[in-house]
Amino acid sequence: MALDEQRTKAYFALLETGGLLQQLMEEQLQRDGNLSYLQFFLLARLAEAPDGRMRMTDLADTLLHSRSGLTYQAAKLEKADLLRRVPSEDDQRSVTAAITETGRELLARVLPGHVALVEKGVFEALDDQQAAVLADVLGAVRDRLRALAPSSAERRRIRR
């Protein structure tokens, strides 16, 4: 079964848009903060979390990244004093990541360029109504895909 013409067009536009936006963000984040796309989102998620802390497993699920890949990135950020990892208070088998003050300062430095890129690249192309529709549409698609995607723990079990 194939997608109809409209769905095919929407699908390819979504893929190309995501790829182009990620490429431009990678360049901006590298230039302004020597951060990768994943490192930026890891720090941004921690900055938004209560007390600036999240379990590594929850971060992996939120960022849709493997635990081992996330551990590698967290180690690089920890070495740069942008985050720290500590045993979880709730579960001794878990590790909690916490953003440091240095990490918050770096986010504050790269965020203006990031926001400017998103504004110029995405929202200047849309009016307010289109932006609202985009938020609704992508929110629904994201929620559906999250329901279909296995958690990091499930992905790990599948590989074994």
- Judge whether 6 lies within some domain: no
Max Cα-Cα span within the chain: 52
Compute the distance between CA of residue 87 and CA of residue 127 in angstroms, rounded to an integer. Answer: 46
Domain count, the chain: 1
The pLDDT of residue 157 is: 54
- Judge whether 4 lies within some domain: no
Residue 116 Rama label (left phi>0; alpha psi -120 to 50; beta): alpha
Answer yes or no: is pLDDT of 159 > 70: no
Task: With cut-offs at 50, 70 and 90, classify the pLDDT of residue 153.
Answer: low
**Domain residue limits at 142:** 18-159
The pLDDT of 80-85, averaged and rounded, is 96
Cβ(84)–Cβ(100) below 8 Å? yes
- Judge whether 8 lies within some domain: no
Residue 43 Rama label (left phi>0; alpha psi -120 to 50; beta): alpha
Task: With cut-offs at 50, 70 and 90, classify the pLDDT of residue 60.
Answer: confident
Q: Residue 52 sits in a domain of what CATH number?
A: 1.10.10.10
Compute the distance between CA of residue 100 and CA of residue 94 in angstroms, rounded to an integer. Answer: 19
The pLDDT of 127-155, averaged and rounded, is 87
CB under 8 Å to 88, separation ≥6 — which residues?
55, 94, 95, 96
